[in-house]
Structure 1
Amino acid sequence: MFAISLGDEAELRPLEPWQAEEFVAHMDRARDLVDRHIMLARAAADLASARALLTSYAEKQAADSGRLYGIRLGSTLVGGVLFRVFDAKAGNCEVGCWLEPAATGRGLVTRAARVLIDWAVEKRGIHRVEWQVSTANEPSIKVARRLGMTREGVLRENYLFDGVRRDTEVWSVLAPEWREQKAADAV
């Protein structure tokens, strides 16, 4: 299995079905924070559902339609990033993230998302990378800004979450913008 250093003793690694027990333990630590904005922790409520979620992403990876990676601090799984949607033929993908409380404020999601976006743009020829986020999720909105994404608008009351209609902000970065930003950062 590969690992990509994110600095500060953090690594990015694939998450696979055989890691379901570790994943559900991580989700138990992350549940209160993650469940405020997305249903990922609910989708991994126990060992069987965690294995099913990880298996669904293994199948997405095999079909080249999504991928799931864990963020580790030392040997501990503390969060992750994913291609929720990946369509190489159309040149579009959507990146998402989550993190448990003990790992917040370190820039881990931003660094991990940069790895995914760079791979998508430079290795797979993705033209448009999207970031969809609840309007109430300020930390995730800040990540989109740090990634140099452009806020395109708000999908008003587009999803039902805990019985309440919620808004979603749509952010994106296009391949030429990503490359321009990388070049400017290298100077």
Structure 2
Amino acid sequence: MFAISLGDDGAELRPLEPWQAEEFLAHMDRGREFVGEHIALPDFVADLDSARSFLRSYAEKAANDAGRIYGIWTEGTLVGGVLFRTMDVPNGTAEAGCWLEPTSAGKGLITRACRVIIDWAVEERGIHRVEWHASSKNGPSIAVARRLGMTKEGVLRENYPHRGTRTDTEVWAVLAPEWRAAKERPAS
């Protein structure tokens, strides 16, 4: 299996596959409340069968070129992940997303991992538009969208029922020409 280094701290990005369901479930159990504060992922991954089913759904998406899922490991432990929830290669669009255990938050892991997958989508797969959907209450996720150079395009008001409450969703996006131009600028 391949692993892509995410920096000098030893963090790695790797495919997350159905055979890793036990590790995925253990990871989700460690971060269940934190991850579930804004997204439903922990509600779908409640036991080994549902963890395996979730990862199989992404294996099928990958086989159909309709999505991807990757894990983030630090010191050999799965601590989070990034994904393309949707990918429409013929139309050049994708929606990226993420999750992370609380012990790994604030270290830049999600931003670094998203840069890898967005760059792959734009440069290798020809994706023109990458979207990012985040609850308006999820400040860390919105901060990632900003760090990725995305533009806030709007708010879908009360569109997402999450654990009994309807929440607003901010839609952010970056276009391929914007992504490439940002890569060419020197780091400040």
Q: What is the TM-score when the length of structure 1 is the normalising length?
A: 0.98
The residue number in structure 2 matching 1:4 is 4
The number of residues matched between the two structures is 187
Report whether the alignment pairs 1:87 with 2:76: no
The residue number in structure 2 matching 1:33 is 34
The residue number in structure 2 matching 1:166 is 167
Q: Mean alpha-carbon deviation: is it higher for 177-186 or for 116-125?
A: 177-186
**1:10-63 per-position Cα deviation (integer Å, ceiling 9, x unaligned):** 000000000000000000011011111111111111100000000000000000
Deviating above 6 A after TM superposition, structure 1's stretches of 4 or more consecutive aligned residues are: none
Q: Which residue identity is paired with 1:95?
A: A
The residue number in structure 1 matching 2:52 is 51
Give runs of aligned pairs for residues 132-171 of structure 1, distance below 5 A: 132-171=133-172
Give runs of aligned pairs for residues 53-132 of structure 1, distance below 5 A: 53-132=54-133
Q: Which residue identity is paired with 1:6?
A: L
Give runs of aligned pairs for residues 15-34 of structure 1, distance below 5 A: 15-34=16-35
Alpha-carbon shift at residue 110 of structure 1 (Å): 0.0
> Could you tell me how far apart the structure 2 residues matched to 1:31 and 1:171 are?
25
Alpha-carbon shift at residue 74 of structure 1 (Å): 1.4
> Could you tell me how far apart the structure 2 residues matched to 1:162 and 1:106 are?
28
Q: Which residue identity is paired with 1:43?
A: F
RMSD across aligned positions (CA): 0.9
> Could you tell me how far apart the structure 2 residues matched to 1:99 and 1:49 are?
19
**1:61-99 per-position Cα deviation (integer Å, ceiling 9, x unaligned):** 000000000000010000000000001100000000000
Alpha-carbon shift at residue 186 of structure 1 (Å): 6.0
User: Structure 2: which 5+ runs fail to align?
Assistant: none
> Could you tell me how far apart the structure 2 residues matched to 1:186 and 1:21 are?
40
Q: What is the TM-score when the length of structure 2 is the normalising length?
A: 0.98
